[in-house]
Chains A and B, each alone.
Chain A
Amino acid sequence: MEPTSPPADGGGAAPAAESRSELVLHVNDVAYTVTVDHRTTVLDLLREHFGLTGAKKGCDHGQCGACTVLVDGRRANSCLLLAVAQDGRRLTTVEGLAEGERLHPLQEAFLDRDAFQCGYCTPGQLCSAAGVLAEAADGFPSHVTPATADPTAPVALTADEIRERMSGNLCRCGAYPRIVEAVADAGARPGGTARSAGQEVAR
């Protein structure tokens, strides 16, 4: 078969040199059909095409976490994801965490704890924390989870666990202590994990 850039419906061969494709993306629960240059990252698509500027371009190399969004409920660095490879996926950005006027428990906790200063990293921190709550509830271990832990049980989010699991999100203002408190608060709230990622984490 010739290398092709098939449209989302799978039909029609295109020349190998083709550098654009059509795909379907579900962004904050709404399905969109978009045509993208293959070079477009999810981050650039969200910001430039959808006007969703919550996710930030900090380092653009997967090192700072400011671009973190949820893909099918799991946190990822959107700066390293090619949009064309995400056909059919469900993206949740910080703009999709709240339900109408009701903030996500993590957003409330960040406000209550004053867990930010300049706010630039906050959308990434929030989406990452949403992923953390779901991962811990689903028993995903971290580097600091004791080897003796029951591999099928949820992981308790101690401060050490939160620090380790949030290490992919940098905060140049140094709001880390409050961020750890806010994530712990949200994890302890009823419903804090259930709505966090929108989707069950596959195991």
Chain B
Amino acid sequence: MKPFGYLRATSVEEAVRAAAGRPGARFLGGGTNLVDLMKLGVEAPPLLIDVTRLPLADIEELPDGGLRIGAMVRNSDLAAAVAVRERYPVLSQALLAGASGQLRNTATTGGNLLQRTRCLYFQDTTKPCNKRSPGTGCPARDGVHRDLAVLGHSAHCVATQPSDLAVALAALDAEVQLHGPDGERTVAVTDFHRLPGDRPEQDTVIRPGELLTAVRLPPAAPGARSRYRKARDRASFAFALASVAAVLEVRDGVVGRAALAFGGLAHRPWRARAAEEVLHGAPATEDTFARAADAELAAARPLRDNAFKVELARNLAVSVLTGLASPAADR
């Protein structure tokens, strides 16, 4: 690890100012990903700006009935918050499906959304990687890519965004609040993470020096149920091969509100708009759910060794939606 300076920020403004004055500086949250990447040599910031003591660790009720989640709220606290468990179960479930108890106690809301891909080549500085060193190539495309993208990838990058939280937030129409040198702005979570295109080094639309300060959840849809389900290689403490976050409202056997997002399939949480178009106003049957999943996954372009993820994602979506549509038979 290269030596670095350390600043414990006492205000958002101070943190943002310090970042603006030091190119390459990084904000330090829980550090569960950043410190690891520094050990691996993937990250070598000249300065760490510790934002964990900023007053961003609260979950607040919003006047419109939504929630504002401070960026420094720990993953375990967010998953346990009564308001989240009761009104946004998909969010609590997504968090609890990720990492380990130790990591969830440390990792923050903002850091979770900004975590980097776990693509093996990205994490190995002896290998080329367009995300880590633009222009060096992507060995994953023809190499080890069983865990990697089937949707939205490019010739330059086939990485996946590993966050479970981001998938639930995408289905919930959440927004992130960013505070930068030019002031504050709000970005929908579905627009926050990018597809790799020809700039895979850019995971998100965050600008240099911007600090993610909060996530805003709109009011929970009345009458809707929600669920997160994740398929992985072992029962616990593993990244998703595929995951599904769903919010579903059924009235008189017909789908009302429906929001669906996939995780583990792309460089960003994949909001399934084509599937939602099929779902809206259709009978809430397994046949509808299968047609919806197929409509979305028709866009999949699997690599040599990861075509199984397409069927996995389809089956997850159908089973989650079917369960949500029939509360009596569910659980």
A interface, CB within 8 angstroms of B = 1-6, 16-19, 21, 37-39, 41, 60-62, 65, 68, 71, 74-77, 80-82, 84-85, 87, 128, 131-132, 135, 138-143, 145-148, 151-152, 163-169, 202-203
Contact = CB atoms under 8 A, between A and B. Distances in A.
Contacts of B32: 62, 77, 80
B134 to A, nearest CB: 25
Given A141-B79, A167-B101, A203-B80, 17 more contacts: A4-B5, A5-B7, A16-B47, A21-B6, A38-B5, A62-B36, A76-B106, A80-B35, A80-B106, A82-B35, A84-B50, A85-B28, A131-B102, A132-B101, A143-B93, A166-B101, A202-B77
Given A80-B36, A85-B52, A39 B105 contact: no
B72 to A, nearest CB: 12
Contacts of A74: 76, 105
B39 interface: yes
B96 interface: yes
The number of chain B residues touching the other chain, given as a range, is 35 or more
Nearest to A75: B102
A75 B21 contact: no
B236 A167 contact: yes
B239 to A, nearest CB: 11
The 8 A-B pairs of least Cβ separation, nearest first, read: A168-B100, A167-B236, A19-B3, A167-B237, A143-B96, A151-B85, A39-B1, A140-B80
A3 B80 contact: no
A195 B4 CA distance: 38
Contacts of A139: 80
A146 B331 contact: yes
B47 A76 contact: no
A148 B331 CA distance: 9
Interface in B291-327: none
B49 interface: yes
Contacts of A80: 31-32, 35-36, 103, 106
B82 A168 contact: no
B149 interface: no
18 contacts: A3-B25, A3-B49, A4-B5, A17-B3, A38-B5, A38-B6, A65-B102, A75-B102, A76-B102, A128-B102, A138-B80, A140-B79, A141-B80, A141-B85, A142-B101, A164-B236, A168-B100, A168-B101
A203 B77 contact: yes
B6 A5 contact: yes
A77 B47 CA distance: 23
A144 to B, nearest CB: 9
Contacts of A202: 77
A91 B89 CA distance: 33
Contacts of A38: 3-6, 48
Nearest to B22: A3
Contacts of A65: 100, 102
Contacts of B86: 151
A2 B106 CA distance: 28
A1 B236 CA distance: 44
A130 to B, nearest CB: 11
Nearest to B81: A203
B6 A37 contact: no
B3 A85 contact: no
A85 B31 contact: yes
A25 to B, nearest CB: 15
B53 to A, nearest CB: 9
A141 B81 CA distance: 10
B178 interface: no
A3 B102 contact: no
A68 B102 CA distance: 7
B21 A152 contact: no
B22 A16 contact: yes
A3 B8 contact: no
Contacts of A68: 102
B92 interface: yes
Contacts of B49: 3
Interface in B31-47: 31-32, 35-36, 39, 46-47
Contacts of A37: 3
Contacts of B93: 143, 147
B273 interface: no
Contacts of B50: 84-85
Interface string B46-83: 11111010000000000000000000000011011110
Contacts of A60: 39
A39 B77 CA distance: 28
Given A3-B22, A19-B4, A167-B236, A135 B76 contact: yes
B286 interface: no
Contacts of A163: 235-236
Nearest to A1: B14
A55 B4 CA distance: 26
